[in-house]
Structure formats: structure tokens, C-alpha cells
Structure 1
Amino acid sequence: MLYHMYEATRMAIQPWRMGAQAVRNVATAPWSPLSYTPLGRQLSSATELFERVTRRYGKPEWGLDKTVIDGKDVAIEEETVIHRAYCNLVHFKREIKRNDPKLLVIAPVSGHYATLLRGTVETMLPDHDVYVTDWNDCRYVPMTADRFNLSDYIDYIIDFLHYLGPNTHVLAVCQPSVPALAAVAVMSGWGDICAPASMTLMGGPIDTRCNPTAVNTLAQEHSIEWFERNVITVVPPPYPGMGRRVYPGFIQLTNFISMNLDKHMLSLNELFDHLVEGDDEEADKKKAFYEEYLAVMDLPAEFYLQTVEEVFQKHSLPKGELMARWNPVKTEQITRTAILCVEGELDDISGVGQTRAALDITPNLPDSMKHYHLQKNVGHFGVFNGGRWRREIAPVVKGFIREHDHELGAKARKLHVIAS
């Protein structure tokens, strides 16, 4: 019923949105005297803000049609190389031949689309051959498709790494840090030659017992049955996935906003002021952020519930108790994949220490293949987007990847010996 109520509310508010648009048309029309008055600008700004906040946003475009390499523009072609029911593997093919490291960017299945990592991908494109997990909205996945849980997530990562082949590098942002580490552990136990050369884990809940946040506390205070009763619902018609049990994106978005309600209210007030003052540049920045932030997708119920139970309640991965399908996940088997852990000092979703735990549960990995970076003065989203990501974090990640790239690393070591 929860999803049906949401859809009914969305339909009920539609006449108000149309009315707001009509008022805005009058307040901005060149023939209207109102458009030349302060009141007109305020009405126009208020109605535009209302329309934007109440709009349902679809999946954003990546919009990455070029990058800059050696000071020259290089065209980018977005191609889907693997199609799956729940996820496509997207390749950002650069129109240039370079021997750059292959990088698999694993986006989270946490309510937002993979395009939330647009800034991450854009920064890595000049120096890497980038592939991204582009997750599909479950409301559009038909009931005839197989179910999707945490083991399936791990299987997807392993399959993608097999497709990309040896000497691939992994960058997992937030929640996929757990399935990424699990996949590498399983592949290492197999002696799989396609186990990645390096793995960068950013703001992920490897061990949520370390410095728990409000998100971790919520998961601990309620049983898995409580989550199933209160946040799991069924997709209504006319969506292709009707009848499928999901954790709806609108619930996740509500949770995200409620965690930082004061900041969002202030931000929207600033957007209103920019619109009234005609400060288009600043207003466009705010609009772009919220067009991405308010675009959400539904998650498979079985994946969400299993993640809550295994990651946030049982802490199965750091305890060595996690199972991926029939494979025990033993992180001590990781011996050849270098690991970089990146955390934000102000992260209120994955607290400081939760990602770094990956270095503690891989005792057989040499210290020379472990690295930790704590970024000062950034929160969760600042770890992988924004100015500090580009200026301070990305150079660390890029340097780590090149240091542990088997081909480039061998060349660098050879040149070092010759120079010596």
C-alpha cells in the first residue's frame, strides 16, 4: 500500500504543479507588467522552486562526451558492453589509443543512479580506460527476471572482472566496498588470474562497528522483520516491475534528506535567492545538484534486506562469516590485490575507520600493498565528488593505481633500476 499511496499523492499534486507553471508563465511573460516587478520575480522563483522539488526525475544522462588528454579534447563514446537484468556494464571509450590502466568503477545500489558518480568518472577518464556498473531501476525490471541479492551482486562483479581480464583495477564507492572486497576474496581463493591488480575502497561500510553513525545505529536498533514490514513494498501498475517487492527510492531519498534537513532547507533558500536576483550561474549549480540528487531508483527487496542483515547487523564480512553463494568469503586469502582505503573526516554515513577496517582483515597482504588516505574537511559525498576529490583525493587514487599496475609498475621499476 505504501507505493500506491505515494503514487496517489504524486497524481493528486499534479494539478498544483500545473497551476504553479501557469502562474510562472504569467509572471515571466514579456507582455505581463508583473514580469518587470520584484513581486513577479518572487512569484516566478517560488513557483519554479515548487515545480522542481515536486517533480519526478528520471535517470540522468552521463553527458560525458569528451575529456582532455595532454591538453587536447578527446571524444568519448558511451557504449554498453554487457547487458544484465539489473545492471549494464558501460564503457566510456576514448577516441585515442593509450596504454592506460583499465578501471572498473563500481557504483552503489543505494537509491541514486550510477550517474551520481559522474564527477568521479570524469576525473578518472584522462588517465584510465573506464568502465562503470550502471544499475537499473527495479520498478522497470519485470517479475520474470531472476531475483537479485548480495550474492548476485558479488557474482556480477566477478563476471565483469572476467570480461575485463587480468590487470584490471577496481574503484568501489560507498556500499559496494563490501561486495567488491568479497568478490576479490573469493577470486583470490580460487587463484583467479582476473583478480584485480588494485582495489580502491571509498567511504564504505566494511566494519560498521567502528565509529558507528546514525545509519548504523538505526540498523542495529531494529530487527530485520521491522525493516521488512516498514520499508519494503510492492511496485504498483503500470510499471513493468509491478508485483516486485522493492525498497523504494523515495523512502531512501526521504531518509537522506531528513539526515541533513537543515542544510537542504538552507540550500533551497539560497536557490530561491539566486533565482530572484537573476544569478543564473549559481542557480544553475544548485539546479544541477538537485536534478541528480532527487533522481532515485528502487532497490530489490531481497538485496536490501540481506545487506542490512549481513553488513549492518551481523558484521559478517569482518568476522569472516560471510558466504557468497556457496563460497566462504575469506579476506585473508587476498595476497596479490593492492588495497587503498579512502575516508572523509566528516562522513556521517560511513564513519571514520569503517573503510580502513579492510586493511586489518587482510593480514596476508604485504604492507607495501596497503595504503590509507583520510581526507580532511569532507563529508560522504565529498570523498568522490567536488573540488577536494579532484585536487587532493584523485591524485592519490591515480598514483596508487599506476604504482600497482602490473604492466606500468614493471616498466617504472625497470626505469628506476636503469636510472640507478
Structure 2
Amino acid sequence: MLYEFYEWNHAVLAPFRAVADATKAIYQNPMNPISHTEMGRTVAAMAELFERTTRVYGKPSFDLHDTFVDGMRVPVVDKPIWGRPFAQLLHFERALPAGRAPDPRFLIVAPMSGHYATLLRGTVEALLPYGEVYITDWKDARTVPLSAGRFDLDTYVDYVIEILRFLGPGMNVVGVCQPAVPVMMAVARMEEDEDPCHPATMTLMGGPIDTRVNPTAVNRLAEDKGIDWFRQNVIMKVPFPQPGFMREVYPGFLQLTGFMSMNLDRHLIAHKDFFWHLVKNDGDSAEKHRTFYDEYNAVMDLTAEFYLQTVEEVFIKHSLPRGTITHHGHRLDMGKIRRTALLTVEGENDDISGVGQTRAAHDLCRNIPDDMRVHYLQPKVGHYGVFNGSRFRAEIAPRIVDFALTHGHRAAPKAPVDAEAGDEATLRPPPPLDGATLPEDAVASAVAATGEPPFDAGAPAGDGTANV
């Protein structure tokens, strides 16, 4: 009943939010003399704070409209070019002059860990000047009807393989945080099957490849709780009238509650500061707060089967490093990866995926030649700083691009558009393939949230040094 109560609570608060919006508009109207006084700004600030803290935040947009290529500003349009029930593939199409030599192509596999793919807006933006960028845009499980079927870790791997086949040979796949495991699984399966569309390079960033290495508080708590605790305490059914009615999910609002409880004191301070920024008419600081929390508070549900399987296989059983991970019952051997170059990236202060957990991929991918593998440890960044912020832009992104240029294939045919991409395509299932102590209510969120942003509302686009 918790999910139903959550929905009911927001419905009850809707008229009060409308009143708060109207109050804010009245007391911010420059034609109202009171709006120029501290009292007027105080009333408007209280109204906005109430509205924002009781709002259901929708999916953000990428808002990437241009980039610089060869010193020239060029327009960018994000287009869906492939679709399935639980995801679509976005292509950030750059308006480049005809006849220009092709750039490397990057497939960014976004985390399915509670936040939307827009969390990687900075990752996309940093790579756009140097290549064609595609990203997996995962869907909120509560919007997917039961008739669309299940989505588990095997399905995730299916999607990655199908996308790589759709885009063709020579891709540079980038797994950011949680996807590091399914990306490795997909590449291993493709290499074993001698699939010609295997990626040229594989970049894994801050991912939980082997959580036995330098385990964090999140890793230890997952093992201590056990899978039954997660199944009994955090899995709920989507209520009516959502499209995914009766689907079992790990709810986004529960994720957000866990995120907040991990740094509750700092969230409270940030909202207090936001209030005083509004009263003092400090528009820049207030806007930074809005930008950060518009993204931070936008969460989505995960299917129960995907969430539970990920927790069990990755954090409890450690199936990948132990060599027991399977894809549709077929045991995968990371040693089959031979032709795909490997780059791993870690953050020195990462307390979600500890130092060494991603580097473990090199031990598993034992048959990749030494001249096709690189590991990079970025100093002075936490989990978020591995894929966003000033240090990512200045030090990590150039290494990803150089690695792709060194080991990737420059032949880049233009990606086709799936004839069924879009709303209708998302209803079609994929074809079968061949062959520190945290609060208890934060445990479930932390385990899933290898893509969780840091808390730094005052500088959401900073250097990413804040730890998760």
C-alpha cells in the first residue's frame, strides 16, 4: 500500500501546489509593489520552496542544442533511432559539412540505477566535439505495460548486443558505472560468437566489476542484508492508473528517499540556503539549486527482476569475477574478449565503486593484448567526477577520445533509423539472440545507485569532487 499512499499524497497536495504557484506569481510580479520588498520575496520564496518539495519531477531533457567541431559551432539534435519496450537509442546528430572525414562513434550505455540518462548530459557534451554520440535512454518501468514482458539482466545484455548490431562494426562502447557489468557480458558474448559487430573499444568507468576489491559501505551492506531482505522490503507493484499497473518494481520514490537519507543534513542545509538566496534576490545561486535538484529529484522505477538479479549477481554472489555469470543460462568467459581494446577509469575518492573494482576487468579480460589495454585513476574525484565535471572534461574525456582514435575503426557508416523506432517500436520485444554506515532505508538505493550524483547543490556542474 505504500506506493498507493505515495500517489494519493501527491494527488491530495495538487491543489495546494496550485495555490503556491499562484502565490509565487503574485508576489514576484514586478507590477506588485510588495514584490520589491523583503516581505514579498519571503512569501514568494516560501511558496516556491513548498511547490518544489512536494512536486513529482518529470524526466529532464538533454538540452544540448549545439557543440563546437573544428572550432565552429554546429547545431545538434537528439533523435530516437531505435526503440524497444524498456529503452530507446538516442543519436545526437551534428550538422556537419558534407565530405568531412568521419569521426569515432561512441555508444554510451547509461546506468539503469534510478536516475534518467540525462544524468550523463555532461558526458555526452564532452564527447560531442570529437565524435558521433549515441546513448541508451532507459524507460521508467512504471510506464511500461505488463504485456511488454519482463526486463532483467539478461534482457539488458540483449539490448546492448542488439544496439551494437544495429549500429554496426567499429563502435566505441562506454559503460558508465552500473552498466560496466552488462557491457562486459555483451562484449564477451559477441566475441565468443565471433560477431562482426563487436565493439572496437570498451571503456568502463567507475563500475562494480569486482566488489570484493576494496569494498565500500554499500558493498558490505548488500552482503549483510541478503537478497531476501531486498525482495521483502523494497519491491512493490505499480498502482492504477499507471501504464505499468501491477508490474513489480523498485520504486523511484524509494530510491530518492534513500538518496536523500545518505546526506540528509546537507540536503536540508541546501534547501535552507535556497530559501535565503531567494529572499536576498541572489538569482544565480537559486538557479544553480533549481538546476541540480530538477535532475536529482527526477527518478524512475526499475523492474523488480532486474534490480534483484543485479543485487544478487553483482553485489552478493560476485558472479562475474568468479566466472559463474550467465546469459540466458550460457556461462560467459571474459577471456573470450580478444579483439576489443579495454580502457578502465576510476576515481580516487569513489566511495560507491571502490578503487580497484573497475580495474579488475583487466584481470578477467586476460586475453586482450597488453598494447590494447589502459587503466586510468583520476585523482581528486568521487563517483560522479568519473563521468562529469571539470576534471572529467579536462582529463578523462580526452583519454577516452584518444583511446578510440588509437584502437577504434574510423569507418563510420551513418546509423540507420529503425523503421519502428518511436512510441510504436517500444511495444515490440527484442528478437531472441543466437546461441561508512548508511541508514538502513538507504541500503537498497545505494546498492542500485552506482550512477547517483553527488550532493553539491551550490555547484552542480563543478569538478565532481563531492563523494556520493
The percent identity for this pair of structures is 53
* Displacement of 1:48: 1.1
* Equivalence map 1:82-93=2 (5 Å): 82-93=82-93
Match of 2:195 in 1: 192
* RMSD, aligned α-carbons: 1.6
* Displacement of 1:339: 1.1
Match of 2:456 in 1: none
Letter in 2 for 1:312: F
Q: Tell me which of 154, 168, 183 is aligned to 2:171.
A: 168
Q: Structure 1 203/45 Cα, relative in aligned 2: closer, same or farther at 3 Å?
A: same
Match of 2:424 in 1: none
* Equivalence map 1:103-182=2 (5 Å): 103-182=106-185
Q: Matched residues in 2 for 1:212 and 1:43: separation?
A: 47
Match of 1:209 in 2: 212
Deviations 1:322-378 (A, max 9, x none): 001132111111111111111112222111111111112111112222211111221
Q: Does 1:389 align with 2:392?
A: yes
Larger mean Cα displacement after TM superposition, 252-261 or 303-312: 252-261
Match of 1:57 in 2: 57
Q: Does 1:350 align with 2:353?
A: yes
* Displacement of 1:276: 2.2
How high is the TM-score relative to the length of structure 1? 0.93
* Displacement of 1:32: 4.1
The answer to whether the 8 Å contact 2:102/2:410 transfers is no
Q: Does 1:11 align with 2:14?
A: no
Match of 1:417 in 2: none
* Displacement of 1:158: 0.6
The answer to whether the 8 Å contact 2:90/2:135 transfers is yes
The answer to whether the 8 Å contact 2:171/2:409 transfers is no
Match of 2:279 in 1: 276
Match of 1:412 in 2: none
Three-state SS of the structure 2 residue aligned to 1:80 is strand
Q: Matched residues in 2 for 1:120 and 1:137: separation?
A: 21
Q: Does 1:374 align with 2:382?
A: no
Match of 1:39 in 2: 39
Deviations 1:150-189 (A, max 9, x none): 0000010011111111111011111000000111111111
Q: Structure 1 26/148 Cα, relative in aligned 2: closer, same or farther at 3 Å?
A: same
* Displacement of 1:31: 5.0
* Displacement of 1:234: 0.5
Q: Matched residues in 1 for 2:220 and 2:206: separation?
A: 17
Match of 1:2 in 2: 2
The answer to whether the 8 Å contact 2:109/2:174 transfers is yes
* Displacement of 1:15: 3.9
Q: Does 1:332 align with 2:335?
A: yes
Q: Does 1:238 align with 2:241?
A: yes
Q: Structure 1 374/268 Cα, relative in aligned 2: closer, same or farther at 3 Å?
A: farther
Three-state SS of the structure 2 residue aligned to 1:50 is helix
Deviations 1:79-106 (A, max 9, x none): 2111100000111111114411111000
How high is the TM-score relative to the length of structure 2? 0.84
Q: Matched residues in 1 for 2:395 and 2:218: separation?
A: 27
Larger mean Cα displacement after TM superposition, 90-99 or 173-182: 90-99
Letter in 2 for 1:205: P
The answer to whether the 8 Å contact 1:186/1:327 transfers is no
Larger mean Cα displacement after TM superposition, 306-315 or 91-100: 91-100
Q: Does 1:261 align with 2:264?
A: yes
Q: Matched residues in 2 for 1:345 and 1:39: separation?
A: 46
Match of 1:414 in 2: none
* Displacement of 1:135: 0.6
Q: Matched residues in 1 for 2:290 and 2:400: separation?
A: 29
* Equivalence map 1:401-420=2 (5 Å): 401-407=404-410
More helix by share: 1
Larger mean Cα displacement after TM superposition, 117-126 or 59-68: 59-68
Q: Matched residues in 2 for 1:373 and 1:270: separation?
A: 37
Q: Does 1:304 align with 2:307?
A: yes
* Displacement of 1:33: 4.4
Structure 1: give runs of 5+ residues left out of the alignment. Answer: 409-420
The answer to whether the 8 Å contact 2:203/2:343 transfers is yes
Structure 2: give runs of 5+ residues left out of the alignment. Answer: 412-468
Q: Matched residues in 2 for 1:99 and 1:21: separation?
A: 49
Three-state SS of the structure 1 residue aligned to 2:107 is strand
Deviations 1:260-280 (A, max 9, x none): 223323332332232222222
* Displacement of 1:24: 2.4
* Displacement of 1:29: 3.5
Three-state SS of the structure 2 residue aligned to 1:92 is strand
Letter in 1 for 2:89: L
Q: Matched residues in 2 for 1:385 and 1:223: separation?
A: 32
Letter in 1 for 2:21: Q
Letter in 2 for 1:107: A
Three-state SS of the structure 2 residue aligned to 1:110 is coil
Letter in 2 for 1:9: N
The answer to whether the 8 Å contact 2:207/2:353 transfers is yes
Q: Matched residues in 2 for 1:405 and 1:135: separation?
A: 26
Match of 2:418 in 1: none
Deviations 1:291-330 (A, max 9, x none): 1111111111100010010001000001100001132111
* Displacement of 1:194: 1.2
Q: Matched residues in 2 for 1:288 and 1:264: separation?
A: 14
The answer to whether the 8 Å contact 1:186/1:328 transfers is no
Match of 1:183 in 2: 186
Q: Structure 1 31/193 Cα, relative in aligned 2: closer, same or farther at 3 Å?
A: closer
Q: Matched residues in 1 for 2:403 and 2:264: separation?
A: 36
Q: Matched residues in 1 for 2:17 and 2:147: separation?
A: 36
* Equivalence map 1:307-322=2 (5 Å): 307-322=310-325
Match of 1:291 in 2: 294
**Relative contact order (alpha carbons < 8 A, sep ≥ 6): 1 or 2 greater?**
2
* Displacement of 1:68: 1.0
Larger mean Cα displacement after TM superposition, 399-408 or 208-217: 399-408
